[in-house]
């Protein structure tokens, strides 16, 4: 029986040692996890700081570019002495349509004058 008691006592000590190994392994794993999470938190905070700094610089650029733009002012004393008046050209808000309406009479005038001056140069006209 003494041997049985010795075996039981030895078994209890072995289980206690085995249990303590598991606890120390769990503690080591928990410590590694905690260190990893702390490293990740530090990295995330660093990224947040960099983003805040970038946002501040973007705000500065946006405010400086908007403040440097001055609204267009119209010159009231603008010289209009070289302006021309075109009669018979209807108003049109479409710039392409307006240009074509203005160019049609001018092209007709240019074609007529080219013919006129071309004939005069050839001696056809007196």
Cβ-contact 68, 81 below 8 angstroms? no
Q: What is the total count of domains within the chain? A: 2
In a shared domain, residues 60 and 16: yes
In a shared domain, residues 93 and 58: no
pTM, to two decimals: 0.36
In a shared domain, residues 51 and 10: yes
Cβ-contact 102, 86 below 8 angstroms? yes
60 domain residue, yes or no: yes
In a shared domain, residues 101 and 62: no
Report pLDDT for 20: 62
27 domain residue, yes or no: yes
Can you say whether the dihedral through the CA atoms of 75, 76, 82, 86 is positive or negative?
positive
15 domain residue, yes or no: yes
50 domain residue, yes or no: yes
Structural domain of 19? 1-67
Cβ-contact 95, 108 below 8 angstroms? no
38 domain residue, yes or no: yes
Which residue reads 């289980």 in tokens?
Answer: 15
The tens place of each residue's pLDDT in the chain, 126 residues long, gives 668 888 888 888 888 776 666 666 777 788 888 899 999 999 999 999 999 999 999 888 888 876 555 556 666 788 888 887 777 788 888 888 888 888 877 776 666 655 555 555 555 444
In a shared domain, residues 52 and 93: no
44 domain residue, yes or no: yes
In a shared domain, residues 22 and 52: yes
């Amino acid at each position: 029986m003494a041997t049985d008691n010795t075996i039981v006592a030895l078994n209890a000590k072995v289980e206690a040692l085995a249990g303590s190994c598991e606890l120390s392994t769990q503690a080591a794993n928990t410590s590694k996890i905690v260190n990893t999470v702390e490293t990740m938190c530090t990295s995330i905070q660093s990224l947040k700081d960099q983003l805040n700094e970038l946002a501040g610089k973007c705000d500065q650029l946006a405010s400086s570019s908007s403040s440097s733009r001055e609204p267009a002012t119209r010159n009231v004393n603008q010289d209009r002495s070289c302006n021309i008046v075109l009669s018979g050209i209807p108003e049109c808000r479409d710039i392409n349509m307006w240009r074509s309406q203005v160019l049609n009479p001018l092209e007709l005038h240019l074609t007529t004058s080219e013919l006129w001056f071309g004939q005069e140069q050839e001696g056809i006209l007196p």
